[in-house]
């Protein structure tokens, strides 16, 4: 019996038997399996958590438990202003009623409910897709808006803290770590230098109490949104391991970064990288339709900065990882993280060039929010 089958045994009830345990999905952090049971019993997702990235996996399970319970309770309320077909994951307990199982080799396993009839959105093909991604994030923020952020652990300390990313970058840039920069690297270095004074803009907003800590998803990219196979409507948002206290603007910026880059994160055609305004408008309209009650006037004031900051931050993270020898993001070739940084920085440039139009979209969405 394989280690995943052995682990799966711990999550099934008495009288249930396992049919198959197969690798599932395209995740690059955890090992994910689909466990099918014999007879009528429902399939479930089994995951071995990557404990290199999540050093305290029991804390991500505690966070997940708090958020799942809160949303399940909310969903029972009649006045909840979201689609009743919105699905929130369930944690499947072990036989001895724990949230996880640790195998003899120290592997950390957990099981989650399987979402039937839906799949992750792999690509945005039309503006309805973009609107659905925004709506999914908006529903998540709406559902968690009255949950106290202090109830959650910070499972990734420093995540989205641009000052920490900049100081890490400064450390690895020191000459003993690195040789002569090439053309792309020169571009990256100048790029970072020109923007480093502006970059702590959201953290400063937080420190001056203009922006409030809330619960954030932490990774609201397109393929973490599950869409119904028949209708194409978003039914759930998955990958809940980065849920933590933070600024919702980080999530909104991240969602737009993922949706509006038509070439995708992995292109090497840097000149073609563009931030698409139509998608931006669609994502924001989907988002505001679901989350307008919890977006403040201050959030709107900082929204353009958030849209510009998140690709800057991710580009900086990729470039720093390249300089450090690619320890964090998995690569397929040596300059992969440098290329990824170039894409994000070009996206920032495209955002800067379209500042006026993006601010007009933000203003329009602010106006329509006031009317809702």
Q: How far is the CB of 88 from Mg ion (least distance, A)?
A: 18
Dig out the tokens for 324 from the structure. Answer: 């450090």
Q: Which of 203, 265, 301, 324 binds ligand GN1 (CB under 6 A)?
A: 265
**245: nearest Cα among 142, 137, 161, 148:** 148
Closer of 239 and 339 to Mg ion (Cβ): 239
Distance CA 58, CA 369 (A): 39
Query: Hey, which residues between 223 and 242 contact Mg ion (CB under 5 A)?
Result: 239
Cβ atoms within 10 Å, residue 191: 21
Closer of 205 and 220 to Mg ion (Cβ): 220
Q: How far is the CB of 28 from ligand GN1 (least distance, A)?
A: 5
Contact of residue 115 among Mg ion, ligand GN1, none (CB under 5-8 Å per partner type): none
Query: Hey, which residues between 318 and 347 contact Mg ion (CB under 5 A)?
Result: none
- Residue tagged 């440098």 (tokens): 338
- Residue tagged 């499972």 (tokens): 155
**Is there a contact between 333 and 320 (Cβ–Cβ < 8 Å)?**
no
Q: Please state at what angle helix 57-75 crosses helix 127-144, rounded to 10 degrees.
A: 90
Q: How far is the CB of 103 from ligand GN1 (least distance, A)?
A: 23
Q: Which of 29, 173, 213, 335 binds ligand GN1 (CB under 6 A)?
A: 29
Closer of 240 and 358 to Mg ion (Cβ): 240
Closer of 228 and 265 to ligand GN1 (Cβ): 265
SS3 109: strand
Close Cβ partners of 314 (under 8 Å, ≥ 6 residues apart) = 257, 344
Establish if 331 lies at the interface with ligand GN1 (CB under 6 A): no
Closer of 9 and 265 to ligand GN1 (Cβ): 265
Q: How far is the CB of 281 from ligand GN1 (least distance, A)?
A: 22
Please report the beta strands in 181-309, taking only residues with DSSP state E, as ranges in sequence order. Answer: 214-216, 225-228, 234-237, 244-246
Closer of 28 and 297 to ligand GN1 (Cβ): 28
**227: nearest Cα among 122, 99, 103:** 122
Contact of residue 265 among ligand GN1, Mg ion, none (CB under 5-8 Å per partner type): ligand GN1
Contact of residue 28 among Mg ion, ligand GN1, none (CB under 5-8 Å per partner type): ligand GN1
**Is there a contact between 264 and 273 (Cβ–Cβ < 8 Å)?**
no
Q: How far is the CB of 124 from Mg ion (least distance, A)?
A: 18
Distance CA 180, CA 91 (A): 50
Establish if 58 lies at the interface with ligand GN1 (CB under 6 A): no
Establish if 251 lies at the interface with Mg ion (CB under 5 A): no
- Could you give the angle at the alpha carbon of 17 between the alpha carbons of 13 and 23, nearest 5°? 100
Q: How far is the CB of 6 from ligand GN1 (least distance, A)?
A: 26
Residues in contact with ligand GN1 by CB under 6 A are 28-29, 219, 242, 265, 314
Which residues of the chain form contacts with Mg ion (CB under 5 A)?
219, 239
């Amino acid at each position: 019996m394989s280690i995943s089958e052995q682990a799966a045994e711990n999550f099934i009830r008495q009288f249930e038997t396992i049919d198959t345990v197969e690798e599932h999905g395209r995740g690059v952090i955890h090992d994910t399996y689909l466990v099918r049971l014999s007879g009528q019993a429902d399939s479930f997702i089994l995951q071995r958590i990557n404990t290199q990235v999540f050093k305290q996996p029991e804390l991500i399970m505690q966070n997940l438990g708090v958020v799942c319970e809160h949303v399940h309770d909310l969903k029972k309320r009649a006045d909840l202003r979201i689609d009743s077909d919105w699905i929130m994951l369930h944690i499947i307990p072990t036989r001895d009623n724990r949230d996880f199982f640790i195998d003899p080799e120290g592997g950390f396993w957990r099981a989650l409910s399987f979402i039937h009839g839906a799949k992750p959105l792999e690509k945005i093909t039309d503006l309805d897709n973009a609107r659905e991604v925004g709506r999914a994030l908006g529903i998540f923020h709406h559902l968690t808006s009255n949950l106290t952020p202090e109830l959650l652990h910070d499972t990734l300390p420093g995540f989205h803290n641009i000052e920490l990313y900049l100081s890490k970058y400064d450390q690895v840039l020191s000459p003993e770590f690195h040789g002569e920069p090439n053309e792309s690297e020169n571009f990256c270095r100048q790029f970072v230098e020109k923007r480093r004074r502006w970059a702590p803009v959201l953290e400063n907003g937080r420190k001056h109490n203009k922006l409030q800590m809330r619960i954030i998803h932490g990774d609201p990219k397109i393929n973490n949104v599950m869409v119904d196979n028949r209708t194409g409507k978003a039914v759930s948002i998955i990958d809940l391991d980065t849920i933590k206290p933070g600024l919702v603007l980080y999530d909104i910026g991240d969602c737009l970064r993922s949706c509006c880059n038509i070439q995708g994160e992995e292109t090497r055609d840097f000149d073609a990288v563009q931030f698409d305004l139509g998608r931006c408008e669609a994502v924001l309209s989907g988002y505001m339709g679901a989350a307008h009650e919890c977006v403040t006037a201050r959030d709107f004031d900082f929204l353009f900065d958030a849209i510009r900051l998140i690709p800057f931050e991710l580009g900086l993270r990729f470039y720093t990882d390249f300089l450090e020898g690619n320890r964090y993001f998995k690569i397929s070739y040596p300059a992969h993280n440098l290329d990824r940084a170039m894409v994000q920085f070009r996206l920032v440039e495209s955002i800067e060039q379209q500042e006026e139009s993006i601010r007009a979209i933000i203003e329009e969405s602010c106006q329509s929010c006031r009317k809702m």
